[in-house]
Amino acid sequence: MRSQKIFQGIAMSTAAGAAALLLTACGPSQPQTQATTTAPGTGTPSPSATSAPPSSAPPSSTTPATSAPAAPGLCKAAGLTAATDASGGGAAGSVYMNLNLTNSGTEPCLLKGFAGVSLAADNAGAPIGAPASRDESTPVTDVLLAPGQTGTAVLRYTQAGNYMDCAMVDAAGYRIYPPEDTASLFLPQPTKACSNAGITLLSIGAFQPA
């Protein structure tokens, strides 16, 4: 009888334990703490760059370049007329005269320096004897000649008879080369010349405004 009671007690304890376990399993479950994993921050994505339309600057108003007027060219024989006057007087067998070159063209021109002057047999003839030497007592200057204006230079002629060794010949006038020109003017003025080139009868000064 005692053994039977012990067995029943064990059975009841076992049953009670099983019931307790069953109650525990069926009871409200405890909330589980969920681990939140934070992904590494990727940063806020920058808005896509939008290319701004090119600024259309107003076209710059380009003023046409005004070219400076061309400087006057040198006076040439084709646009000049020549004349002399004896207002310079004379001394010791020499005659001083003004050689005048006048702009007969339609544009201004520049007369600067010394003319080439020699005596000539005729309009188409070659020079006779030595050409004029330069008288540099008057400084060279720019002489701007508008149409109709005149530049002047002092021309001296020494009498050919002053030279004993002069091989004297007749000259019909003066051949005149404007400064830096290879063309010439002929100025009729009959006189005497020395054909030998060792004797210089003429001298010429630099041109000045008339």
Structure confidence by residue, pLDDT tens digits, 117-163: 999 999 888 899 999 999 999 999 999 999 999 999 999 999 999 99
40: left (phi over 0), alpha (psi -120 to 50) or beta: beta
Q: What is the pLDDT of residues 74-117, one digit of tens each?
A: 999 999 999 999 765 666 689 999 999 999 999 999 999 999 99
CB atoms within 10 A of CB 176: 25
> Among 4-18, 45-59, 79-93, 126-140, where is mean pLDDT lowest?
4-18
d(CA 157, CA 135): 12
Task: Tell me which amino acid residue 122 is.
Answer: D
> Minimal CA–CA distance to 114: which of 87, 154, 78?
154
- Residue whose pair of structure tokens reads 């009671």 in the numeric block: 5
* pTM of the shown model: 0.67
Q: Which residues of 90-122 are buried (b: 16+ CB within 10 A; e: fewer)?
A: eeeebbbbbbbbbbebeeebbbbbbbbbbbbbe
Q: Is 2 helix (H, G, I), strand (E, B) or coil?
A: helix
Kindly report the length of the chain.
Answer: 210
d(CA 83, CA 98): 8
User: Which residues, listed in sequence order, are joined to residue 191 by a DSSP beta bridge?
Assistant: 171
